[in-house]
Structure 1
Amino acid sequence: MKKLLLFGFIMVSQLLLAQEEKLVAVPDIPHEIIVNGDTIQEYTMPEIFIGVDIKDEKYRRDMIILRNRLRRVYPYAKATAENLVILNANLEKMSSNSDKRKYIKRSQKYLEEQFTEKLKKLSRNDGKILIKLIDRQTGQTVYKLIKEFKSGWKAFWSNTAARTFSLDLKSEYHPELYLDDFYIEVQLQYLFYSFELENRPAHKPINLNELRKQWSKKISTDEFFPSELRE
């Protein structure tokens, strides 16, 4: 799986560099124990939360995990967007297709050296978020970025292989449509605000306050939606 993610990212890496810069409850399970010669059945009681909303507690744990994932993968998405601008600008200056191919190949080699070991450490869930963030920062899916500089045939097979491991290279980032994407944006803004990540504007402007109001109205009071995100 990690090799697949690495493969996909390295293909995207052809777009990244223009100059050589470093860029649940426990079930009841009875069993017998001996106490002072008497056989007694012992039970494991289900886990009980006292004074804690289970859904709210799960949400908070999930958001901690999400923030950790964002810390790992956001820098790659940011580098993609920043270097894509430089790459396109430099390619426009080249009239020879041969020079363009050499330039892209040199960029790929550099990124293989710089990012291979780091990308091997990413999990499948890290990869899912990375793909979302690349679309957030560039306005293009990973699939489109691959297709732009590779044959459509190779892009098709890359996406097919990725789907086998639940990675959709055509995945788009829509915090206005998908609650999971909204949560990504909320935690991303938190990391920007706390200066844990360097803020770079999304390709398409995002108004977090308007998104919060939208989701607060869309999620009924019978469904779980964190109180701090409601109006």
Structure 2
Amino acid sequence: MKFYRLIFLLIVIIAGWNNASAQVTDEVKFPPKGKNDTIKVAGTNVGGEMIPWIPLHEVAIYGVRIFKSPAERAAYNRLRYNVMKVMPYALFAKRRYEQLERDIATTTNKREQKKLIKACDAEIKQMFNKEIKELTITQGKILTKLVDRELGRTTFDIVKQTKGGLTAFVYQSVARVVGHNLKSTYDPQEDKDIEAIIASSGFYR
């Protein structure tokens, strides 16, 4: 009885191996080429037939916003203009301070770290003297929010980390006089209009 079971098991194994070999050696059918088919694309074997495919970029679809009044439309357009004006500065600050953190991480020498911070401050100040000082109070407020959005830290925290608590306090005091708050944070729900503008702006494409 055991002998017949062994024979049956061997038959099953051999049949399974033959099927597997047949599947491996089966010829894969490729789609016919046209005279202009010169671009190589990826392909997936589906039941012995090679199906070509190409990855596509994500497509974001946005609804058309309906405004309750011309005044509401005008307010939104002003907000969009201001966001588009200051967003490049927030992205620049993000890239520059991320680079600063990477540079500081490469050395434990305090003097060298101070040099790196000073160089970063000089670059930021150069941009400030050329362009940012021309921003309106409203644009400045939006910028401080966007810095928090991009870096996950308020402008006050960044100044405190790089320049010390006393300098951060002085900067905050001056900012408050002209209507700014370096401790402003970004809330995607509270600032949903800004978030919608950024999402449809193309800054991250």
State whether residues 144 and 155 of structure 2, in contact with CA within 8 Å, keep that contact through their aligned partners in structure 1.
Answer: yes
Q: Deviations over 1:99-118 (max 9, x none)?
A: 11112212222333344221
What residue is the counterpart of 1:127 in the other structure? 140
- In the superposition, the TM-score normalised over structure 2's length comes to 0.63
Tell me, yes or no, if the aligned pair for 2:100 and 2:120 is still in contact at 8 Å. no
Instruction: Determine if the alignment matches structure 1 residue 56 to structure 2 residue 69.
Output: yes
Match of 1:191, SS state, is coil
Q: Distance in 2 between matches of 1:118 and 1:153?
A: 26
Match of 1:28 in 2: none
Q: Which of 166, 174, 187 pairs up with 2:197?
A: 187
Instruction: Note the residue ranges of structure 1 that are not aligned, 5 or more in a row.
Output: 1-52, 193-197, 201-231
The structure 2 residue matched to 1:199, chosen from 172, 197, 204, is 204
Q: How does 1:75-224 map to 2 (within 5 A)?
A: 75-176=88-189, 178=190, 181-192=191-202, 198-199=203-204
Q: Higher relative contact order at CA 8 Å, sep ≥6: structure 1 or structure 2?
A: 1
Give the CA deviation at 1:54: 8.8
Query: Displacement, 1:159?
Result: 1.3
Which residue number in structure 2 is paired with residue 71 of structure 1? 84
- Contact 1:66–1:184 at 8 Å: present in 2 too? yes
**Aligned equivalent of 1:205:** none
Distance 1:107 1:54, change over 3 A: closer
Aligned length: 140
Q: 5+ residue gaps in structure 2?
A: 1-65
Letter in 1 for 2:79: L
Deviation at 1:128, TM superposition (A): 0.3
Dislocated runs of 4+, deviation >4 Å: none
Amino acid at match of 1:93: T
C-alpha RMSD of the superposition: 2.0
Alpha carbons of structure 1 residues 184 and 165: separation in structure 2 relative to 1, 3 Å: same
After superposition, give the CA deviation of every residue in 1:173-229 in whole Å (9 maximum; x if it has no partner). Answer: 0122x2xx111111222222xxxxx218xxxxxxxxxxxxxxxxxxxxxxxxxxxxx
